[in-house]
Structure 1
């Protein structure tokens, strides 16, 4: 891990007391609770870093919101989600507040820090908000983007193989673990023909590390979802996936609303209607779900996040269409 720091004393001495005109303040457009800050310190990785999140649950689980999908999970299960953060990613940063009093700059010397790991691994679900989900998606979508750089034939072959593979939850779990081992530079032969076929496609395609990490993130997102969900998402039509992807974009922009015209699976009673409604959650509905949620290893905001990541990843894997 590497650190870069700004010379805060120099900044304070240079700008403290400097006058700022009202016109300049108006350009900033600060709202009542907004704060003006500058980055005083960053912590970044000089080489790729693997991030792993594990959780275990025992017993019989019937998720609150996914009842409409009739997802019923029994027994003991382990969930492991992992992906590689590329080199030179910012893991944490420090901010110093710039106050404006009587049209003069006043710089505080007390830093405010925010860690990337708070986003990746944070377990604070006491006050789930859609904003937290948006922050997660904004940070992770860049890691999925290399999927779009795969040759179209490779994307089609991988997507077809993946849609067959996810029908068996054990195969999906094995694929996630196999990709995990490959990210460590270790490739082991597996007994599953479906997983071997998928891995053969990756090897033959000779894809880059960032593209393999993007594939791994998509597989991990699908693996984290309840067992009945990945088959529904991977085999849905391009039109259905496009609408879901538009809803994810709307969530990130704070305007996720169901359009009037919807593909059949997203209409009332459709098999993916709950996914569309879930992506359109607001803070109040998310809080209500959290209060009655009975699956602590997959709280509603995490389910929302992995749903959105899966939709985004699958959308990037779709064939390119000419306008």
Structure 2
């Protein structure tokens, strides 16, 4: 995630308690120029139920999409908002050890980041919705407009900007990152006379990075939308579900409604979210359904290469998001790959190139005969989308896990969610109890970062969801199962 996106996202999180939760953070400074009153924004439906909507500002405003030449100007009210300044610091550390036969590897790492941002005095601009409804009462949408046709074909949602928060003076964001790590390898050999020979190699890495970003005045940092319900003609109403009317007379809904109940892929997310302080077994039913797809990962001929590629993506959320989007587009086209290098970086292109080597995927690429993507492609997309849904802290903890530790954690989670009863201590994989408790501490930090707590009781070990609501326990379990499947065996 870019420095700008982190700052605006943090601002929106802080504001959600005071507002109605409708604010959307601006991801890129370039989008600010497009986010004018009544700007048309495309809301992309997501593939999996735990994914939040994505918003793409277009180059059009509402009147560009309406029939007729009669123009109208929005009635916009301006008012001072707040003065916003923030300073945050994050410290992380971890280590792991792997030993196999004659080779032993010890890895340690720690890092810290400090971010300071000052948006200064912010301004709020709101479109008078009542006036907008009157202006659009007899107007019809131009169904031949290229944007309308694209959105309808992809089953997406059109929305218009009704409110925005913008800076009034130049301001800045600074971020300082410090990382250091060390790796030591030991190779033990037996000489010809039975003498033990030990070869040791070690190295360390230190990285310091300072980032400073200057933001000009009149930069939009957050906004809210009014979704369009498109029937036989345009329908603009507050708190209306956006979408296009189908032949049955109903509109295709977006993934989130006004009561924050998210729906996607035909699954009501509220049905798979466990209550607070629930045993991990509460997710077992939904996990078993998704794991049927993840099992295919263990059969991929390129699974080890895929594991290394995705494991590296854990360190770069921007790359992870681009890879998820590329896979989502590929799946939505029923497995027909249409490369768009201008919207992807090198790791994303490399991921698609690697998947094209899989015979089951390659055989269907270039043909739209199938109405659904290959199941192997869906399995990879499921894993990457689960990874992308995890918070930064969880992604960092995962980077500290060796393949052996990941497989051990996966085994432990399967046992914990398989029963409501505590897990006996002697059933815990031995590798998790090594290193004087350091590996166990890593496990606890990993689970806690995604709202899962481990508790030792008299007769064993128990895992339950934490005090926060949400789908993080689900996506964490899916991520660990998927990565564990990829590092199972050789290509």
Distance 1:265 1:275 in 2: 18
- Map of 1:101-120 to 2, 5 A cutoff? 120=269
- For each residue in 1:159-203, what CA deviation from the matched residue of structure 2 results, as whole angstroms up to 9, or x when unmatched? 111122221111101111111000012533233111111111111
**Structure 1 gap segments, 5+ residues each:** 1-48, 78-115
Greater relative contact order: 1 or 2 (C-alpha under 8 angstroms, separation 6 or more)? Answer: 1
CA change 1:121–1:311 in 2 (3 A) is same
1:134 equivalenced with 2:284 (yes/no) = yes
- Map of 1:1-323 to 2, 5 A cutoff? 51-55=48-52, 120=269, 122=271, 126=275, 129-130=278-279, 131-151=281-301, 154-185=302-333, 187=338, 188-189=340-341, 190-208=343-361, 209-233=374-398, 236-254=401-419, 255-256=422-423, 259=428, 261=430, 262-264=433-435, 267=438, 270-275=441-446, 278=452, 280=454, 286=464, 289-290=466-467, 293=468, 299=470, 302-320=471-489
> Rg larger in 1 or in 2?
2
Runs of 4+ in 1 over 6 A off after TM superposition: 67-77
Moved more, 168-177 or 205-214: 205-214
CA change 1:222–1:264 in 2 (3 A) is farther
SS at match of 2:52: strand
CA change 1:222–1:71 in 2 (3 A) is farther
Count of matched residue positions in the alignment of Structure 1 and Structure 2: 219
| RMSD of aligned alpha carbons | 4.3
SS at match of 1:55: coil
The structure with the largest helix share of the pair is 1
Distance 1:135 1:144 in 2: 15
* TM value normalised by structure 2: 0.38
CA change 1:215–1:127 in 2 (3 A) is same
- For each residue in 1:250-280, what CA deviation from the matched residue of structure 2 results, as whole angstroms up to 9, or x when unmatched? 1232254663842449637743332367364
- For each residue in 1:176-231, what CA deviation from the matched residue of structure 2 results, as whole angstroms up to 9, or x when unmatched? 11110000125332331111111111112344411111111111111111123235
**Structure 2 gap segments, 5+ residues each:** 1-45, 55-84, 95-110, 118-220, 223-264, 362-373, 457-461
CA change 1:129–1:53 in 2 (3 A) is same
* TM value normalised by structure 1: 0.55
- For each residue in 1:74-119, what CA deviation from the matched residue of structure 2 results, as whole angstroms up to 9, or x when unmatched? 9999xxxxxxxxxxxxxxxxxxxxxxxxxxxxxxxxxxxxxx9556
Aligned to 1:97: none
- Asked whether the 8 Å contact 1:146–1:211 carries over to 2, the reply is yes
Distance 1:193 1:269 in 2: 36
